Amino acid sequence: MWGQATILRQLGRTDLALPLLERLVARRPDVARFRIALAEVLVDAGQTERARLHLDESLGGIASDVDQSRARKLLTALDTKKTFSGHFNLSFVPSTNAAQQTNSRTVTIGGRDFVIADSARKSPAIGLALDLGVQAVPQIGPRTRLRFGLSADARVFDDRARDDLTLRAEVALRYEPTPSLALEVGTTYTRRWLDGTGYSRAPGLFFGVSAYPDAQSRLQVVASLDELRHETATGLDGQRWLAAVSYTRAVTPQLQLRASLGAEHMGAAAPSSAYRAFWSGIGMSYYFRGGLRLGADASLRRASYNGVSPLFGKQRRDTQFRASIEASHSRFNLSGFAPVMGVDYTRRAANITVYSYDEFSARVGLTKRF
């Protein structure tokens, strides 16, 4: 089939080569040259977004230096022509504890036990999760681009959990000194609403590095600083900085492994709300023959608060575990939208009872890049 597709391309019959290459990629998603050839045919057919997806997948797996070079050159050519892109994700989300509230019935304050109201305890909820974004990336030099981005992240639930909406704007300068290295620096502005009421705003700065040490790996480093301001909870105001490093490696043509480390510091005005946190994560993606992709991730986060809580008389300590599994299939497509399913589990253990909780949720939705 590969030989037949190659001959058809040489004869200029890309219309006949396309279905053959699609079948090859479905059967052997681990073979980079199949994906790259399919991407080249899709570009000729004007289907640049589908081509970009296959090129990204080919770079994420094991590929020869020649194939890596072909994929990067084609992606660069697509990026040069295209200055606008975006994404859209919409999911139905049933959750056992969307409000992330404690399951405990009592809390101890000043040596006395108090009953926690049912409205402040764990309860199931059903909602929708929306994640969308657009960006323009005009080229201003041979290796330099500007990036303007706007994104929205919303979770809308029934009366058992608060609606949460976050809007974020970004302006960044991106410089690529080599094909395997990219540097980015920029400014952000984030605005958040809870139940339709303004909650916080945060101007910020960030810096990022993306590098490909070899043909099978990718290294990313990100640092950011935000100046958080809250509408009413002014004790939470302060500077928050984040730093994270992540590494992804293709162990086999079908298996990718990833790991991450991060640190966070929140200098809130109220000492009991100021904290330091560290986290680590691991994950994997496996591409089955036939088009099925399965991903799994797990992370652990520990947070330590600076001051003693005025209400509970102790310094808060949290340990949070999170795990998720996600499945998608490259052969399923609904008018350009790909179905995605996933499950998530989160458990936080805190030395102050009201901050401990667990949540199990599912996600069934559609995703699209454009």
Instruction: Indicate if the pLDDT at residue 82 is higher than 70.
Output: no
Whether residue 25 contacts residue 5, with contact meaning beta carbons closer than 8 Å, is answered with no
117 and 151: one domain? yes
Taking the C-alpha atoms of residue 233 and residue 195, their distance in angstroms, rounded to an integer, is: 15
Q: For tokens 């976050």, what's the residue?
A: 166
Q: What is the pLDDT of residue 164?
A: 95
Taking the C-alpha atoms of residue 44 and residue 368, their distance in angstroms, rounded to an integer, is: 21
182 and 216: one domain? yes
181 and 50: one domain? no
Convert 169-181 to b/e letters by CB count within 10 Å (16 or more is b). Answer: ebebebebeeeee
* Boundary of a domain, candidates 50, 81, 112: 81
H or E segment and range at residue 17: helix 14-27
142 and 244: one domain? yes
CATH assignment at residue 28: 1.25.40.10
68 and 97: one domain? no
70 or 120: which leads in pLDDT: 120
Q: Phi/psi of residue 250, each to 5°?
A: -85, 105
CA distances from 110 to 52, 273, 312 (A): 60, 20, 7
334 and 290: one domain? yes
204 and 334: one domain? yes
Q: What is the pLDDT of residue 345?
A: 98
* Boundary of a domain, candidates 27, 50, 81: 81
DSSP per-residue letters across 19-68:
HHHHHHHHH-TT-HHHHHHHHHHHHHTT-HHHHHHHHHHHHHS---HHHH
255 and 358: one domain? yes
Amino acid at 285: S
Instruction: Indicate if the pLDDT at residue 6 is higher than 70.
Output: no
Taking the C-alpha atoms of residue 61 and residue 34, their distance in angstroms, rounded to an integer, is: 12
Secondary structure letter of residue 76 according to DSSP: H
Across all residues in the chain, what is the average pLDDT? 87
CATH assignment at residue 201: 2.40.160.60
* Angle, vertex CA 307, rays to CA 303 and CA 313, nearest 5: 105
DSSP per-residue letters across 323-335:
EEEEEEETT--BT
99 and 23: one domain? no
Number of domains composing the chain: 2
Instruction: Indicate if the pLDDT at residue 11 is higher than 60.
Output: no
Q: Which domain holds residue 131?
A: 84-369
pLDDT in tens, 292-320: 889 999 999 999 999 999 888 899 999 99
pTM value > 0.85: no
Give the rounded percent of residues in the chain with a pLDDT score beyond 90.
53
Taking the C-alpha atoms of residue 6 and residue 40, their distance in angstroms, rounded to an integer, is: 12
28 and 104: one domain? no
Confidence band, pLDDT 50/70/90 cuts, at residue 8: low
- Closest listed residue to residue 343, CA positions, set 91, 137, 146, 150: 91
217 and 328: one domain? yes
* Boundary of a domain, candidates 81, 116, 151: 81
Average pLDDT over residues 243-271: 91
Taking the C-alpha atoms of residue 101 and residue 62, their distance in angstroms, rounded to an integer, is: 43
Q: Phi/psi of residue 70, each to 5°?
A: -60, -45
38 and 135: one domain? no
* Tokens encoding 11: 């004869």
Taking the C-alpha atoms of residue 46 and residue 179, their distance in angstroms, rounded to an integer, is: 25
User: How many other CB atoms sit within 10 Å of the CB of residue 77?
Assistant: 12
Confidence band, pLDDT 50/70/90 cuts, at residue 61: low
